Amino acid sequence: MCLACEEQEYFFRLWCVDFLARGEMPPGVTTDDLQAMGLPLPKPGAGAPAQGSKVPKAQRIDPAATAFSCDSPDE
């Protein structure tokens, strides 16, 4: 795996962990995907936003918008 692919995988994991920390399921990711990455499933009830939170859902980044495709040959 090239360095760019490793970096992309790392940032994808961080993106997923951010959702999981809020108790939400990352969009487009299944429970099987999370288990394959060794990440825990979101805990029910932990996803309620804190009162006074003013971060709209529209500000979240769609993973397809930051998609990366490596064209390096496998070694």
The domain spans of the chain are 1-42
Distance (Å, whole) CA 69 – CA 62: 16
Residue 23 has pLDDT above 70, yes or no: yes
pLDDT, average across residues 37-63? 60
Please give the pLDDT value at position 51: 44
Closest CA to 26 of 55, 60, 68: 60
Q: What is the pLDDT of residues 35-45, one digit of tens each?
A: 888 888 887 66
Alpha-carbon span 3 to 73, nearest angstrom: 13
User: What's this model's pTM, rounded to 2 decimal places?
Assistant: 0.57
More confident residue, 52 or 22: 22
Q: How many CB atoms lie within 10 A of CB 26?
A: 19
